[in-house]
Each structure stands twice: as structure tokens, then as C-alpha cells.
Structure 1
């Protein structure tokens, strides 16, 4: 009897996806492409009989892929998203492009901060440039209050798959779709293509 060796890490799964769907997933120096909203559901169907990877592993690898700097760099307004066969569909919205840029900048800041903490003595001393960044705190608070007033907080037992929701990640909730409902948590795929696992109390019903 033939024994199928299962994938053990995200790197192997991403390499597999790149090989199976080269018009959708890219690797190395090749420029990444924005993934179609709901790409996880398509992958789950196409790889239903693939014994080497589970849906949980697939979800984790997809999350790592969409949170990579290379992928976040490609999420720009008006760029068309692609499905597993490389067929172009909807364009990246301004909201999704802004969210991707915010995520990219936060990731880089965290990485640079960790690097500086590890080797403070070897890092070259540089005079920080003063940058005037206009604050949007007041506007964000108003928007959040408006959303909380017009949207109902989700109840875990009432949630359904493919249900449109708002995820309260920061100051302003982000749009997404429920892709998996677990015992205590809910898996939501954001409109940017990324997936997050949150409690129902962090979700708002659209």
C-alpha cells in the first residue's frame, strides 16, 4: 500500500500551491498577485482529495502567504485580483489597499524594532527624521461609534458560514466573510484576502 507523506510546514504547502496553481501563487523574485476574495473556499474544493494537506494547514499557509511583505506590496488600488487559474476578477479597492499598506508598515516596524533590540551595539547610529503625520484619531473614533450604533454585535451560536461581518481589529472595523466556525473562535477572511481567528464578541453583523 502506498503511504502518502503529509506536509509538515507552511513552506512546503506554499511551494506545493505555487506548483499546482502557478498562475495564482508565485514564489521567489516573481511578483505576487492579489488573490480573489474567497480563494480559501476554492482551494478547499480543488484540494478536497489531497491527503498531504488538511484544511487547517491550508488555512495557516494561506495566512502566512498573504501576510508576507512580498504579497502585501502587490495589494494596490485598481490591480485586478486572480483566481486559482489566473483569471482576473475584481479590482483591489482603496480600502483594501490602505489596509494592506498599514499591515505592511506595522510588520516592518516590528521587524526593525526586534532587530534593533537584538543588536543595539552593532546597529549604525542614525539621526531620526522628523515626519509630521496628521492624526486621524478623532475621525476614527467617530467612525467606530457610528458602526457600533448601526451594527449588531455577533452571537457565536447565530453565525453562519459565508456570512458578511465586520471585524473589530483596530480603531475602524474591517469587512470580511465567515469561513469557519469553531467551538470558541470564528475564522474570518478579510476583504484583503487575509484570514483572522477571533472571538464572536469582536464581530459585528453587517
Structure 2
């Protein structure tokens, strides 16, 4: 099973995943106990995908408690975890904005280059016409 397929399955089985609620510490052990034959490596990647998603981080940033697989409150979300989620979100949004700015700048530069090339081609064509008129027989 792929990590994405497992995540989809977990979202169908457990509301805590579907609603992106903060997961209880040690939820991996609870999942391994509930789902026999689950590969630890696939579970680790799946949990990483889930807990690094923007939606999860936004929820964690504002949450006060974590939840177990049954949706029951577990331990509290520490200030350190909330701060980490907020910083991760801020960094990711800044990176996206920087990438968007760089892409727009590259597009503008490419458009300016296309305009310069079109103008150069127009001038060449104009000169050819002038030369043809100058040297053509009348």
C-alpha cells in the first residue's frame, strides 16, 4: 500500500485524520495495534504527509488539545508545537511567495525578450523592403 492510499484509508476510517485534528503523541503505535500488517515505513511516510500538510499545520497552530483515534482528547498541544507549526507555515508561505515572484519576473523578462526579438525582426524586414525598393528596376 502506498502512503497516499494509506492516508486516504485512514481518513475514511478515523475522523481525527479526516478533520485534520492534532494527533496524539504516539498515534503510530495505536495505528500499528489497530491495523495488523501495517508496514512501519509506509506508516511513517503517511504520518509525515499528513502532519506536514498546510491544513494540519493551520489546525495545530490554533489547537489546545490533541486527539486519539477515537476522537477523544489526549494531551495538550504545547506552545512549542504551536510555535513550530506557525513558523513552518510562515516559512512555507514565504517560500511560495518568493517562488511566485521569481516566476512572474522570469515571465516578464521572457516577454520583454520576445518583444525585443519581434522589434528586431520588424526592423530587418523593413530594411529588406527598403533595399529591395532601392535596387529594384523601375
Same topology, TM > 0.5: yes
In structure 2, runs of 5+ residues without a counterpart are: 109-138
SS of residue in 2 equivalent to 1:59: helix
Query: What pairs up with 1:22-101 in 2 under 5 angstroms?
Result: 22=15, 24-26=16-18, 31-50=19-38, 54-76=39-61, 79-101=64-86
TM-score, length of structure 1 as denominator length: 0.47
- Greater share of residues in helix: 2
Give the match's secondary structure for 1:114.
Answer: helix
In the aligned structure 2, how far is the partner of 1:47 from the partner of 1:118? Answer: 44
- Is the contact made by 2:22 and 2:60 (CA closer than 8 Å) also made in structure 1? yes
CA root-mean-square deviation: 2.0
Q: Work out which of the two has the higher radius of gyration on C-alpha atoms and give 1 or 2.
A: 2
Could you say what secondary structure the match of 1:45 adopts? Answer: helix
Which of 1 and 2 has higher RCO (CA within 8 Å, sep 6+)?
2
TM-score by length of 2: 0.68
User: Paired residue for 1:118?
Assistant: 103
Deviation of the 1:111 alpha carbon: 2.2
Gaps of 5+ in 1: 1-6, 124-206
Q: Give 3-state SS (helix, strand or coil) of 1:96's partner.
A: helix
Identify the residue that residue 7 of structure 2 maps to in structure 1.
14
The structure in which a higher percent of residues are strand is 1
Moved over 3 A (4+): none
Please state whether the residue corresponding to 1:25 is helix, strand or coil: helix
